[in-house]
Amino acid sequence: MKSPFLAIIISFTLVNCYHAPSTTKSSINLFNGNDLKGWHIDVPEMDTNKNAISPFWVRNHELISMGVPNGHIITDKKYKDYTLEIEYRFVGKPGNCGVLVHASTPRILYKMFPKSIEVQMMHQNAGDFWCIGEDISVIDMEKRRGKKENWGVTEGKERRIINLTDGSEKPLGEWNKMKIICKGNTVKVWVNDIFVNDGFDCTASEGQIALQAEGAEVAFRKVVLNKN
């Protein structure tokens, strides 16, 4: 007969496999709360429309993405093997946004977004993966991405990989926590401490980090990178 104490220890260990590990070796505040130092803005409309206003700015020590015109703000530096901790909320109506990891070649999707793996923040879909020029694998791939013959990383292909569980987001207007651990060719995601996606065999292992402007106003009060 197995010891009840052994069973408790095994159960505790299994449960904790799905909690984000703590990494505190060195922290970098990618957003300093005062300005956009360390980032640059890539919004195609601003190339040709002299009246276009940047969707990214700082308000009350929060990084604001107004959502329009569409584009992204991207770090000047590249990073690899890190834990990214983000706190965000939709300011008004629910909508779409995302964080791009392992970003590299500019404007390969819709002549707008860089080659990357998107971790979705869209309301009620937080934690989905979207492949943008790069690819990633998960368990139950066909169930979560569709028929294999339709997979791809460019427009018109099945680029979305549905997360493991919905219901992890806070009510609209409240702050959400997202944790993304990039290590080697793996990407793991938690939303409000709930494990929501686990990718492996990613075709990239380093790159810049970007936040999108994709139609909805989003506020970010924390963007912290911890080196693994």
The closest of 227, 192, 160, 188 to 88, measured between CA atoms, is 192
Instruction: With respect to residue 1, please indicate whether it lies within any of the assigned structural domains.
Output: no
Task: Return the HEC string of the chain.
Answer: CCCHHHHHHHHHHHHHCCCCCCCCCCEEECCCCCCCCCEEEECCHHHHCCCCCCCEEEECCEEEECCCCCEEEEECCCEECEEEEEEEEECCCCCCCEEEEEECCCCCECCCECCEEEEECCCCCCCCEEEEECCCECCCHHHHHCCHHHECCCCCCECEECCCCCCCCCCCCCCEEEEEEEECCEEEEEECCEEEEEEECCCCCEEEEEEEECCCCEEEEEEEEEEC
Instruction: With respect to residue 14, please indicate whether it lies within any of the assigned structural domains.
Output: no
Instruction: With respect to residue 173, please indicate whether it lies within any of the assigned structural domains.
Output: yes
Close Cβ partners of 196 (under 8 Å, ≥ 6 residues apart) = 126, 127, 163, 164, 165, 168, 189, 190
Is 225 in contact with 211 (CB distance < 8 Å)? no
Is 51 in contact with 38 (CB distance < 8 Å)? no
Give the other-Cβ count within 10 Å of 213's Cβ: 26
Instruction: With respect to residue 7, please indicate whether it lies within any of the assigned structural domains.
Output: no
Half-sphere exposure (Cβ direction) of 32: Cα atoms closer than 13 Å: 7
Q: Which domain holds residue 140?
A: 23-227
Instruction: With respect to residue 4, please indicate whether it lies within any of the assigned structural domains.
Output: no
Domain of 117, CATH number, reads 2.60.120.560
Give the other-Cβ count within 10 Å of 193's Cβ: 11
CA dist., res. 61 & res. 116, Å (int): 28
CA dist., res. 40 & res. 166, Å (int): 32
Instruction: With respect to residue 189, please indicate whether it lies within any of the assigned structural domains.
Output: yes
Question: What per-residue confidence (pLDDT) applies to 21?
Answer: 43
45 - beta bridge partners? none
Instruction: With respect to residue 8, please indicate whether it lies within any of the assigned structural domains.
Output: no
Question: What per-residue confidence (pLDDT) applies to 20?
Answer: 46
For the chain, what is the domain count?
A: 1
CA dist., res. 117 & res. 42, Å (int): 17
Instruction: With respect to residue 13, please indicate whether it lies within any of the assigned structural domains.
Output: no
Cα Dmax for the chain:
76
Tens digit of pLDDT per residue, the chain (228 long)?
Answer: 434 433 333 333 333 444 444 445 589 999 999 999 999 999 999 999 999 999 999 999 999 999 999 999 999 999 999 999 999 999 989 999 999 999 999 999 999 999 999 999 999 999 999 999 999 999 999 999 999 999 999 999 999 999 999 889 999 999 999 999 999 999 999 999 999 999 999 999 999 999 999 999 999 999 999 999
